Chain A
Amino acid sequence: MALLEVTNLGISFGGLRAVNEFDLTIEEGELYGLIGPNGAGKTTVFNMLTGIYKPTDGKIRLAGNDITGKHTADINKAGVARTFQNIRLFGDQSVLDNVKIGLHNSYEYSTFAGVFRLPKFFATEKEMDKKALEILSVFGLDKEANVLASNLPYGKQRQLEIARALATNPKLLLLDEPAAGMNPNETRDLMNTIALIRKEFGVTILLIEHDMKLVSGICEKLTVLNFGQVLAQGKTSEVLNNPRVIKAYLGE
């Protein structure tokens, strides 16, 4: 059974059809790319997959379970985590706390235990710290654990956002333009990081990207979106050589 199965997905804003008849199947463990020109509807697809927008038509199945139109928080609990094109960190909190918020649903103690500092509080907080530092060290961010998230340099903020998403223990990780605004060196590091987290966390990844080097370098399969419609779908090398895709990207 495929991990993610999207059939006939569509959404309209007023009269505007932003995404139409979108199909996508991702097998477990795959690294899948979603590409397309600006305004093609890629982020809209992400927003529907994570429940931020409710799709007008279609079905989204995660490991066989229907998650269409569910609440964002419930979809995350079902196993989908994401990052954002315009980074959305908890800026006023430390790097460590950002990851600990990602761990929120995996560790539990009551508000009462927290307010009155019962033993459960200290024990759980200690475990959370340990786990959070473990995740941060994968990204080399453990030394900056106590820095305010908004004070991190741009590239590290993107990494922290991925770390936070991974902390929720997802089956499927959605990365929205992870390389945006990075220089070639940073992009190369990012490619290594993505390969590493795939290995370490065993997570399936769907990413939106404009950097063709990154896409052709790491994605196994691609879907090309244009004007809200699927233009091409399949193995990376085949899709990138598809004349219709080349036309959409380079024009007539």
Chain B
Amino acid sequence: MKNLNKTTQKLITTIAVIAVLYAIMQTMQSTGNLSSLMSGLLVPVCAYSLVAVGLNLCVGYLGELSLGHAGFMCVGAFTSAFFSKAFQESIPDVPRFILALVIGTCAAALFGFLIAIPVLRLSGDYLAIVTLAFGEIIKNVINVLYIGKDSSGLHFSMKDMMSLGMEPGGKILVNGPQGITGTPRQSTFTIAVILLILALVVAHNFVNSRTGRAVKAIRDNQIAAETVGLPITKYKLIAFTISAAIAGVGGVIYAHNINSLTATTNNFGYNMSIMILVYVVLGGIGNFSGSVIAAVVLTMLPEMLRGLSNYRMLIYSIVLIVLMLFNWAPGILKFREEHGITSKGILDRFKKHKEVQ
């Protein structure tokens, strides 16, 4: 019970920090102290954080490596943007966005569920590669998808715009590799932050509930979990579906913040999946707050290094390697232990210093 309180405390602290950061950013933006580049990053950072929280649920609690979470983000993004665009004139802004959010989340959850049924039979690196494959398939299919709307209803094609056979006045909704353009830009920083906090609470409550305990038990020892009567497949499916749904929310936020939504390797392909995985691992496996911190720092870092122009991504990659070695290499960990260069050691030293004063 004390344990539960500790994690709850951590959650509350994280939410408080996010709220403070939000207030600072809002003030800076309204007083014009935030560069346009930075303010353009506020919503995407929240979107990445959301996907990272979702992926962390999968990696940290289900214990399975997924390299396809960008795919679920992609599904959330495209279904919601499609809905918003299709009903741009017929439904008022607010209910439409709420519906788009629900649709994007549910679509991602459904894809997660459908993919999980076959995929969760595999494990380890095989599961990783199959999720990567699914992510790539989703991205590829969206790139050949053409959907238009005219007075007679919706038209679909997987070839090109011409084969839609639309009436002259028809509207193109999804235009193959050009994706969806002109999605209403409704995900404001405020909405993004609220959804991020909500996702953190949901994820936290989930892992600290009866179902979450079962999921963790399966992760820790599947055979033992079976012998105490846990239905393995059911709980794996639940966890994976929720994980995909949270990534879908990230996609909805992302899609309603840009003018032209396309599915490329960098925004919805394995590159994105890998980038999100980097946030999860650097932020701490199983640590939702850590994922958010890592997503914020690592998205902002290259932008802050922009002055270094071409060297910034090089520095980023070196920082990544060094951080991994510093945090995980057994030899370096031993050295840190011996010389008190651990977070606890530094904290203790700081406290002593204070006491002396």
Binding site for B on A (CB under 8 A): 50-52, 71-74, 76-77, 81-82, 84, 88-94, 96-97, 100-102, 104-105, 107-109, 111, 113-117, 121, 124-125, 128-129, 146, 164-165, 167-168
Contact = CB atoms under 8 A, between A and B. Distances in A.
Contacts of B219: 92
B69 interface: no
B120 to A, nearest CB: 15
A114 B229 contact: no
Interface in B173-219: 202, 205-206, 209-214, 216-217, 219
Interface stretch (B70-78, B129-137, B220-228, B346-354): B220-228
B224 A76 contact: no
B205 A92 contact: no
A102 B226 CA distance: 10
Nearest to B216: A93
Contact of B229 (A88, A94, A105, A128): A105
B230 A73 contact: yes
Interface in B214-269: 214, 216-217, 219-221, 223-232, 238
Nearest to A93: B216
B223 A52 contact: yes
Contacts of A114: 205-206, 209-212
Contacts of A81: 227-228
Given A93-B220, A117-B205, A129-B1, A107 B226 contact: no
Contacts of A129: 1
B3 interface: yes
Given A90-B220, A93-B213, A129-B1, A115 B229 contact: no
Interface string B1-20: 11100000000000000000
B220 A92 contact: yes
A90 B230 contact: no
Residues of B contacting A: mostly? helix
Contact of B3 (A52, A124, A146, A164): A146
A114 B206 CA distance: 6
Contacts of A74: 229
Given A101-B213, A125-B210, 6 more contacts: A73-B227, A74-B229, A93-B216, A100-B213, A114-B211, A128-B210
Given A93-B213, A111-B209, A115-B206, A72 B221 contact: no
A104 B214 CA distance: 8
A89 B221 contact: yes
A109 B214 CA distance: 13
Nearest to A78: B229
Contact of A168 (B209, B213, B229, B238): B229
A74 B210 CA distance: 19
B87 to A, nearest CB: 28
Q: Which 7 A-B pairs have the closest CB atoms?
A: A114-B209, A76-B229, A72-B226, A88-B224, A90-B220, A111-B211, A101-B217
B229 A124 contact: no
A109 B220 CA distance: 22
Given A81-B227, A90-B220, A73 B232 contact: yes
A125 B211 CA distance: 12
26 contacts: A52-B223, A73-B227, A73-B229, A76-B229, A89-B220, A90-B220, A90-B224, A90-B225, A91-B221, A100-B210, A101-B214, A101-B228, A104-B213, A104-B228, A107-B210, A111-B206, A111-B210, A111-B211, A117-B205, A124-B210, A129-B1, A146-B1, A146-B2, A165-B227, A167-B228, A168-B228
B201 to A, nearest CB: 9
Contacts, number: 102
A55 to B, nearest CB: 17
Interface of B: 1-3, 202, 205-206, 209-214, 216-217, 219-221, 223-232, 238
Given A111-B206, A114-B205, A146-B1, A89 B212 contact: no
Contacts of B223: 52, 72, 84, 88
Nearest to A165: B228
Contacts of B214: 101, 104
B216 A92 contact: yes
A168 B225 CA distance: 11
A104 B226 contact: no
A129 B206 CA distance: 18
Nearest to A113: B209
Contacts of B205: 114-117
B224 A84 contact: yes
A104 B1 CA distance: 17
B144 to A, nearest CB: 37
A242 B334 CA distance: 56
A91 B220 contact: yes
Contact of A73 (B209, B211, B226): B226
Nearest to A101: B217
B239 to A, nearest CB: 10
A206 to B, nearest CB: 14
Nearest to B232: A73
Contact of A50 (B3, B212, B227): B227
Contact of A115 (B1, B209, B213): B209
B227 A82 contact: yes
A101 B225 contact: yes
Nearest to A74: B229
Given A88-B223, A115-B209, A116-B205, A94 B228 contact: no
A177 to B, nearest CB: 16
